[in-house]
Each structure stands twice: as C-alpha cells, then as structure tokens.
Amino acid sequence: MLVLSPESSCDVCAESYSVDSCPHSIPCGHTFCASCLTKIAQGLWSPRTTPVCPLCREGFTAADIRLIRIDAASAQPGYPHVFPYPNYYPSGAASSSSSSAATGFGAAPIDEDALDGADQRVNAEAKRLEDKISAAAKKKCTFEELSALQREVEQWLAKELARRPDREHASLRLSAALLGAILINGFAYNEAKKHAKGVEVSLMDKLEQAEVVKRKLEFELHRQRAQYSQKLLELQQLKHEVSRLSAGSSPLSSPPTSARALPLGSALMATPPRAMSVQPARVSTPGTPTRASTPGSAYAAYSHFPKRSMSTTQETTSHLPISTSYLSATTSHLPVPSNSRSLGASPERPTASTQHQRWIPPAASRDDADAEREAHARGRPRPASAAGLYAHHGAGSMSRPRTSAGWRP
C-alpha cells in the first residue's frame, strides 16, 4: 500500500490526500485526486481538447483512472518514505492481488490494446489529411479552400504534438509547409494581378487619349495642307497678275517718222507731233495704243509759235470736207507705230537735210476723252490736244498760206 505523508497533496487543486480523498493514478503514472481527474476526463476544463495529463500532456480516458489504496495506520510515519517513482511498489510491499501482481509499476496495468487502437485512429486521420492534400493539388482550388485545408492540418498536428510528442508526422508537416508557401505565392500573385489590371486600365485610358490627340492633329494637318494649297494658288495668281501689270505698264517708245515725203494732198492730216499729256500713263487695250512723251520737250520745241485756241482750230478743221477713201489713200503708206515707246524720247523734228513731211496723229482714245472730262469736272485746265497745240502755225510771221488740201509747205 501507499503510505501518505502530511505533505502529499493533489498537484491540480493542492488539497491534501486523506481517507476521504484518496489519490488516483492514470496510465502515465501521475497521481491526482478523483475530483480533478473526473473533471478533466469529462472535458469540463477544456472542452476543445481530449483529456490529457496536466503534467506530461499524455492522453487518457475516464476508464483509465485507477484508485490507489493507502495504509491509514501508517499514514503519519516518523520520517517520510521517499521512493524513486510515486507509483512504484517494491516487490515485498506489492499487493497479492492479481491486478497489482502482474507489474511492479502503478496501481493498475497499462492497457496496450487501448494504446494500439488510439495509434490506429491517429494514423487513419493522418492518412485522410494526406489524401485530401493530394486531391487539392490535382485540381484547381480557390484561395479560401486552400486556407481552410492548411488550418485543418496545422490544428491536427498541434493536437497530436500535445498528445504524443514522440510522433512527428513528417509528411503532414511537409504538406502543411507547402500549403503555406502556395498560399503566400497565390496571395502575391493576386496582388500582382490586381496591380497589373490597374496599370492596364490606366494605360488604356492614356492610349484612348493619345488616339483622340492623334485624330485632332491629323485633322489640323489636313486643314493646314488645304490652307497651304489655297495660299499657293493665290500666290501664283498674284505673281501672274503682277507680271501682267508689269508688262502692261512698261514705257512705250514713240513711232519713228517715215523718211519718205508725204504727198501734198495729205497735208491736212499731217500735223506736228502732239505734246505729251501730264496725265499718268494708263494701260490701254490692244486696239488703242497709249502714247507717252515729255510735255516739256514738245513745249520747248514749239514755244516760238503763237498760241491759238483749241476751238478755233477745231472749227477750222471741221469744215474741211475729206472723204474716207482719200484719207485711207493718203495714209496707207505711213509706217505702223510699234507698241513699245519710251517715256523720255522726244518726237523727231524735220531738218533741212530731210524731206518735208507731216505726221498725222491718230484720233484721241477713249481714255484721253475720259481724262479730259474728269479734269474739266474738277476745275482743272484741260490738257492741250494735238489740234490746239499746233493751231498757231497759221498765225504770226511763221504762218503759211492755207489751201484747200491743207497747209502749204
């Protein structure tokens, strides 16, 4: 029997053992009071785990609890009896009962069959978890499914480590580590995928904006090209107009006089050259050539002749009957004046060495008549015409007798 000392007490509730509160043992060899072991076996302290020894964490059940009988007579010895093992009974002090005679350790024999059944259950559970991990690796699982499987494996390993520290379950531990790495990589992949999706959306927005800007620039380029073509066409038209105006406003030279003498009958139409008008040069039509000369030269050449009014000359020349056929016959041999005349050139005058000849001025053009009317309307003196300029030839000391055919040479 076990002899109790005054210091003997339960390691859980710290109550001393007595006849009313005898110690009880479990398969691991530790002793506790019946009340504490019953609460642990029923799961009143920790319902989430199986009942284990509070000291070594080895599992047990309610059927494994054994009562340890004590000697009440020698409950208080003179000195304490210390044994190397709490539940060790020496061979001489061992009980003669069949239960305690079989073994020298503990109050009851260890149930080996129960231990083998527990190991079989543990192995079956480990096999089930390994198969579940293999199935998850063969099919495509979500992040939540893998997380739940990893938590389940880690919880089972923690429970088995608390119950049997000598069992490692290396395959399950390796599978749990691989599941953790897969979850970490999957989380990183999901984060990278989200970031890439955001970058893609932003780049697509920028691409659309660039397309809009490109279309605007293309439209602006087309418009600028159209404007350039239009301006180039206008420039060509302006160049053509400038060249045409430059060719039309070039100085014209006076027609040369013929070296041949005119007949006497054409003296009426042969008058000295007309002085150049002070009006600016105009671009005349091809049918009516423009005459240009210096008015000073004509005035200096004939300043010694007496002046007569234009009306008197016109009245004198208007009564002369001249037929069209006669004029055409008398002027048919005159040289044709050229279109180009110089502004600074003065008309040629007859000399003593040349034969006597007369120059017949053509009729006033429409531009000269318009300029004369415009000057009269503004109150300016009318420009001297050819008839008025040379009308004084018949007066003064230089006058010559007038005949029916014109002035006598």
**pLDDT average, residue stretch 381-388:** 50
Task: Say which DSSP state 53 is in.
Answer: -
First-residue to last-residue Cα distance in the chain: 192
- Mean pLDDT to the nearest integer, 16-37: 84
- pLDDT tens digits for range 50-61: 888 888 888 888
Residue 52 backbone phi and psi in degrees, to 5 = -135, 165
Task: Give the Cβ contact number of residue 212 at 10 Å.
Answer: 10
What is the rounded average pLDDT of the residues 20-44? 84
pLDDT band at 396 (very low <50, low <70, confident <90, very high): very low
Out of 5-9, 70-74, 93-97, 135-139, which region has the weakest mean confidence (pLDDT)? 93-97
Percentage of the chain beyond pLDDT 90 is 12
CB-based contact 168:155 (threshold 8 Å): no
Q: What is the pLDDT of residue 207?
A: 94
Q: Which residues pair with 402 in a beta bridge?
A: 407
pLDDT band at 41 (very low <50, low <70, confident <90, very high): confident
pLDDT in tens, 86-99: 444 444 444 444 44
| Residues in CB range of 12: below 8 A, 6 or more apart | 32, 33, 36, 54
- The per-residue pLDDT for range 320-373, each reduced to its tens digit, is 444 444 444 444 444 545 444 444 444 455 554 445 556 666 555 556 667 777
Q: What is the pLDDT of residues 178-231, one digit of tens each?
A: 888 888 888 888 889 999 999 999 999 999 999 999 999 999 999 999 999 999
Average pLDDT of the residues of the chain: 67
Q: What whole-number percentage of the chain has pLDDT above 70?
A: 48
Q: Count the residues in the chain.
A: 409
CA 26 to chain centre: 81
- pTM (predicted TM-score): 0.28
Contact 253, 338 (CB under 8 A): yes
Q: Which of 158, 157, 153, 179 has its CA nearest to residue 169?
A: 157
